[in-house]
Amino acid sequence: MPNTFGKLFTISTWGESHGGGVGVVVDGCPANLPLSEEDIQPELDRRRPGQSEITTPRKEADQVQILSGVYEGKTTGTPISMLVFNKDARPGAYAEMKEKFRPSHADYTYQTKYGHRNPEGGGRSSARETIGRVAAAAIAKKILTLKSNVETLAFVQKIQDIAMPSMDAISSAAIEANIVRCPHEETANAMIDRIKELRSQGDSVGGIVECRIRNLPIGLGEPVFDRFEADLAKAMLSLPATKGFEIGSGFEGTLLKGSENNDAFENRDGEIRASSNRSGGVQGGITNGEEVYFRVAFKPTATILQLQKTVDLEGNETELMGRGRHDPCVLPRAVPIVEAMANLVVLDHWMRHIAQNDSFKF
Ligand SMILES: Cc1cc2nc3c(=O)[nH]c(=O)nc-3n(C[C@H](O)[C@H](O)[C@H](O)COP(=O)(O)O)c2cc1C
């Protein structure tokens, strides 16, 4: 099932950048959840193209339609299918890319693996595929909001070498207060200037999205293959343009000694808590009740408006000038997508935890 993610709350996405549309089938959603397009649209609005001067100018309203699984405003327990039509496709911009491979994009590997591909807008490798994930995760978020106080917040922590200072308290309002989605205003302004500068040179830039999940219960995650952090890593690295994942003290933690890295336990007013959180809220693959925090590295956008060396379908060396409408930096739009994947992992693992540990009691 190469287009399906999740074990109990499953999503199957479909569609290409310049095809008729993109969408998702969500299976395993509990019945009787009040649900309408209004629950989904705000999340899609956060990821849609054309939302600011530092994203791709492609004009898509990304209006979602729920086709199945909802009756009289409530879910029925049957598959929920959701659809967004592609409206602003410009296939002409990709004529040359049909013959020549874009460096560091998916063109060469798709062509070699399948022998036939849709080059328009990158086809299935386009980030438009993530519309289905965000739509599905809006349902997961609604369930988590109604049944818990779990809060998932992602934000842009770094663009190239411009990093925000470490901040404990981060609010959704501060993240959404600027177009780059960095909650530290001064850093956000420097990031925006850098993105604009590189875009004016026909270039692109990458960076790091950090995500924090608060108020998770203890016990989510499986001890071996489906460790909570392993599934988070898979979820994040399944996103286009990702090149790295770290949780808790991550790669920096390798510089510490065990005595410095360990999170000492303490009894805080009758509650067992960790006095520090270098584990990133996961121990032995299972959440320990502390905040889960992780970082995802996104590379500079592959399609740049500069002449680059490449080869054509016959293997002849040639040059390619990038065309079409592209994000000079994918990170501002990646923020809601990272949150979406995190919420899908949380809900799926929560359902699995309940199914195994809270349903049949012996
Ligand atoms: C939100 C978002 C927007 C993106 N926009 C573009 C884009 O405009 N142009 C482009 O070449 N790649 C863009 N990408 C990245 C490509 O989809 C990705 O590089 C491509 O699928 C190849 O996969 P890989 O980079 O993971 O190897 C975007 C990625 C994300 C997450």
Q: What's the CATH number where 54 sits?
A: 3.60.150.10
Closest residue by Cα to residue 58 from 82, 108, 23, 93 = 93
134 CB within 6 A, ligand 1: no
Q: Whose Cα sits closest to atom 24 in ligand 1?
A: 241
- Residue 169 has a pLDDT of 92
156 CB within 6 A, ligand 1: no
* Rounded distance between C-alpha atoms, residue 186 and residue 341, angstroms: 28
- Residue 301 has a pLDDT of 98
- Residue 361 has a pLDDT of 84
* Rounded distance between C-alpha atoms, residue 18 and residue 91, angstroms: 7
Instruction: For helices 37-47 and 130-147, give the axis angle rounded to 10 degrees.
Output: 130
Cα 127 to middle of ligand 1, angstroms: 6
State whether the Cα torsion 266-272-275-277 is positive or negative: positive
Cα 222 to middle of ligand 1, angstroms: 31
- Residue 320 has a pLDDT of 96
**Index of the ligand 1 atom closest to the CA of residue 106:** 22
Cα 303 to middle of ligand 1, angstroms: 8
What does the DSSP 8-state code read for residue 312? B
Task: Give kind and range of the element (H or E) at residue 5.
Answer: strand 4-5
Number of domains composing the chain: 1
Left, alpha or beta for 348 (phi > 0: left; psi -120 to 50: alpha)? alpha
Nearest 5°: CA angle at 258, between 252 and 260? 70
Cα 305 to middle of ligand 1, angstroms: 14
Structure-block tokens of residue 118:
């849709």
What beta strand segments (E) does 227-306 contain?
Answer: 242-247, 265-268, 271-274, 282-283, 286-287, 292-298
- Residue 359 has a pLDDT of 85
Cα 126 to middle of ligand 1, angstroms: 6
Residues of the chain with pLDDT under 50: none
Q: On the CB side of 287, how many CA atoms lie within 13 Å of its CA?
A: 23
- Residue 93 has a pLDDT of 83
* Bridge partners (DSSP) listed for residue 297: 208, 244
Q: Which domain holds residue 123?
A: 4-358
- Residue 313 has a pLDDT of 96
Structure-block tokens of residue 55:
């994203």
Cα 166 to middle of ligand 1, angstroms: 28
- Residue 89 has a pLDDT of 85
303 CB within 6 A, ligand 1: yes
Q: What is the pTM of this model?
A: 0.98
In degrees to the nearest 10, what's the CA dihedral of 62, 68, 73, 77? -130
In degrees to the nearest 10, what's the CA dihedral of 68, 72, 77, 78? -20
Q: Whose Cα sits closest to atom 21 in ligand 1?
A: 125
- Mutating to test ligand 1, I would choose from 330, 335, 341 the residue with most ligand atoms within 8 A of its C-beta, which is 330
